[in-house]
Chains A and B, each alone.
Chain A
């Protein structure tokens, strides 16, 4: 036990054989698994980081698109409101013009009718007055001078 003998050499051979066996059948597969796991974790972390960056980009893109869509929608609404206001104003103006035109035409018609009526009345009055005057004076007043005289008289009466 405390004497140096050939056990020393046997032990060295023993250890070298053990080193060969363990190195090939124990530590190599174990190290491979450890390396594989380390690589996988590293890859997964890289992939997760990449996905996170992509998600951030997509989020920024979507936010930008949403903002643009919101602005566009607001612009459309504003434009539509403006159009509606314009149409309303135009319609109002047009209606006012039509109304004015109709009122003007109506006034003209009324005036025309009035003039026509007055002319008719005048004619009737002349005829009637002439007839009355003829009957009154029992003579026929059918000359042009008579008619003019009567017309003058009738006008004086009517006006």
Chain B
């Protein structure tokens, strides 16, 4: 953990590592990497989508395959209306988490000048995303179903209210800890492997982590879809 902490704190040395904002600390390394992930998402996805044609090229085909796969999952769980409402949010969530997970596996640039880390190895990011999902869930749920949306807290009977509340609190906690833990552990293990066995083993781990990064993005998105599904249960 010490090595990982040290490594991840030595990222962009010519820019501040922390800034204080209204008495609270902002971890700038995480934010730099978030911006980097955002820029990649906007450039790649925006670039492909803005040049999208009726007869697609290779890149557009790849993107369409991913988008249609995710939209299929959304439609299967939330129906057409659910897909229409949540597709931009869930696609953004998936691609942002996916890119965030993978950029931590990029090699260091210019010695120790720039060290890429995943923004999702910061609990703040994972928890922010999970809470955003829950907040959107409640807002859209109330908007579409009124306060009757909270009726599922007392189902199948009122005595289940405490358990249902624990479950509701556990959702964002488990979502965020799963994402954060997987990505942080992957990066720590990569650093440890580089120091223990610099050849082959880290490469195999990078390949594995690439898969884990995709899988975690999918799991997070899928859990969000499952959370949103009850909003459209009357329409689906």
Interface residues of A (CB under 8 A from B): 1-12, 14-19, 21-23, 25-31, 33-34, 36-37, 40
Q: How far is the CB of B82 from chain A (nearest CB, A)?
A: 15
Interface of A is mostly: helix
Q: Which residues of A contact B68 (CB under 8 A)?
A: 34
Query: B41 contacts A4, CB within 8 Å?
Result: no
Residues A10 and B95 in contact, CB atoms below 8 Å apart: no
Contact of B8 among A1, A16, A36 (CB under 8 A): A1
Most buried by B among A11, A12, A21, A28: A11
Decide if A18 touches B27 in the complex (CB within 8 Å).
Answer: no
CB<8 Å pairs between A and B, sample of 17: A5-B27, A6-B26, A7-B30, A8-B127, A11-B119, A11-B124, A11-B125, A15-B129, A15-B132, A16-B132, A18-B96, A21-B46, A23-B88, A26-B49, A27-B92, A30-B49, A33-B53
Given contacts A11-B124, A26-B49, contact A1 B5 (CB under 8 A): yes
Contact pick for B21, options A6, A12, A25, CB 8 Å: A6
- Over the window 179-211 of chain B, the binary record of Cβ atoms lying under 8 Å from chain A Cβ atoms (1 yes, 0 no) is 000001000000000000000000000000000
Residue of A nearest to B26 (CB): A6
Contacts of A9 in B (CB 8 A): 24, 128
CB of B132 within 8 A of CB of A12, answer yes
Residues of A within 8 A of B122 (CB): 1, 7
Assess whether B54 is in contact with A33, with CB atoms less than 8 Å apart. Answer: yes
Tell me whether B24 and A14 are in contact (CB under 8 A).
no
The residues of B that contact A36 with a CB separation of less than 8 Å are 54
Interface size class of B (residues with CB under 8 A): 35 or more
Q: Is B223 an interface residue (CB 8 A)?
A: no
Given that A7-B26, A15-B132 are contacting pairs, would A22 and B125 also be in contact in the complex, using a CB cutoff of 8 Å? no
B50–chain A nearest beta-carbon distance, Å: 6
CB within 8 A of B123: which of A2, A10, A23, A30?
Answer: A2
Q: Given that A27-B91, A29-B50 are known contacts, is A8 also in contact with B124, CB under 8 Å in the complex? A: yes
Residue B38 is within 8 A (CB to CB) of chain A in the complex = yes
**Is the Cβ of A19 less than 8 Å from the Cβ of B88?**
yes
Find chain B residues with CB under 8 A from A26 CB: 41-42, 45-46, 48-50
Closest-CB distance, B104 to chain A (whole angstroms)? 12
Verify A11–B24 contact, CB threshold 8 A: no
B interface vs A, CB < 8 Å?
A: 5, 8, 21-22, 24-27, 30-31, 34-35, 38, 41-42, 45-46, 48-50, 52-54, 56, 63-64, 67-68, 87-89, 91-93, 95-96, 119, 121-125, 127-129, 131-132, 184
Known: A22-B41, A25-B46. A14 touches B31 (CB 8 A): yes
CB within 8 Å for A22 and B45 given contacts A27-B92, A30-B63, A34-B67: yes
> How far does the Cβ of A83 sit from chain B's closest Cβ, in whole Å?
67
A7, chain B: closest CB distance, angstroms: 4
Contact of A1 among B26, B27, B50, B67 (CB under 8 A): B27
Asked if B50 and A25 sit within 8 Å, CB to CB, the answer is: yes
Q: Which residues of B contact A31 (CB under 8 A)?
A: 87
Which residues from chain B contact A34 at a C-beta distance below 8 Å? 64, 67-68
Q: What residue in chain A is nearest B20 (Cβ atoms)?
A: A6
Q: Which 7 A-B pairs have the closest CB atoms?
A: A6-B24, A11-B128, A7-B124, A23-B88, A26-B45, A26-B49, A30-B49
